[in-house]
A and B are shown apart, each in its own frame.
Chain A
Amino acid sequence: DGGITQSPKYLFRKEGQNVTLSCEQNLNHDAMYWYRQDPGQGLRLIYYSQIVNDFQKGDIAEGYSVSREKKESFPLTVTSAQKNPTAFYLCASSIRTGPYEQYFGPGTRLTVT
C-alpha cells in the first residue's frame, strides 16, 4: 500500500536535546512538507522540499533543520534552539504538478520536558 509513514508515534525528550523525526513516503512524490500543529491552531509550515537536495523555509523554521538526501525521505530535526518544541508534527507529500493535492502521514507527538 502506498502512503506516508512517520516514526515514532510518540517521542519524549529532555530540554536541551536535539531530536530527529522520521518521514518516509512510497507515493513517488517529489514534494514533501513538515507542519506543526498546536492545540486549537491550524497547521503551520516548518519546511518544505520540492526536489532532492533542495528545501525551503516555511513560516516557522527557526529552531528546526531538515535534509532531503533521498526522494522518499524527509527527516526533521528539532534542535535545542526551538523554544517551544512540544507539539504534534505532521509530514505531507504531493506531486509537483497540479492540483498539488497533499497527503499526510499519521503524525508524531513530541513532548519535551
Chain B
Amino acid sequence: KQEVTQIPAALSVPEGENLVLNCSFTDSAIYNLQWFRQDPGKGLTSLLLIQSSQREQTSGRLNASLDKSSGRSTLYIAASQPGDSATYLCAVRRGGSEKLVFGKGMKLTVNP
C-alpha cells in the first residue's frame, strides 16, 4: 500500500529564505506526483505536476524535483514571501490508476 509522508508537519521561516519541502513515498511505481497548495478553509490549488519520466518541473519561483528510485520529491521555493504561507500537500498517482494518495501536508508560515 502506497504511503506518502511529509516531514516536518510545520515550518516557520523569515521572509526571503529559500525553502525545500520534502515528500517521500513508499512505492516507486508511480505514474506522476502532484504538488498542491491549500489556504485555510479553501480548496487545493495545483502547483506542479511531475511525470515519472521527468526529473523536475518549474513554475516561477517554484521548482519540483523527483527521484523515483529513492521515493522522494522536493518542492523548492525561492525567495519566500509572506504570501507563500499556506499548507503544501504532495500526492502520488500509481501507474494505471486515476487515484491520488496524499501526504498530510506541511504548514508553511513565512514571517515578514
Using a CB–CB distance below 8 Å, which chain A residues touch chain B?
4, 6, 31, 40-45, 48, 50, 58, 88, 90, 92, 94, 96, 98-107, 109
Contact = CB atoms under 8 A, between A and B. Distances in A.
Interface of B: 4, 9, 31-32, 34, 36, 41-46, 49, 51, 89, 91, 93, 98-100, 102-105
Contact of A42 (B32, B41, B99, B105): B105
Contacts of B100: 43, 45, 102
Given A94-B98, A99-B51, A100-B32, A42 B103 contact: yes
Contacts of B93: 100
A48 B99 contact: yes
A41 B104 contact: yes
Given A50-B98, A96-B98, A100-B98, A42 B44 contact: no
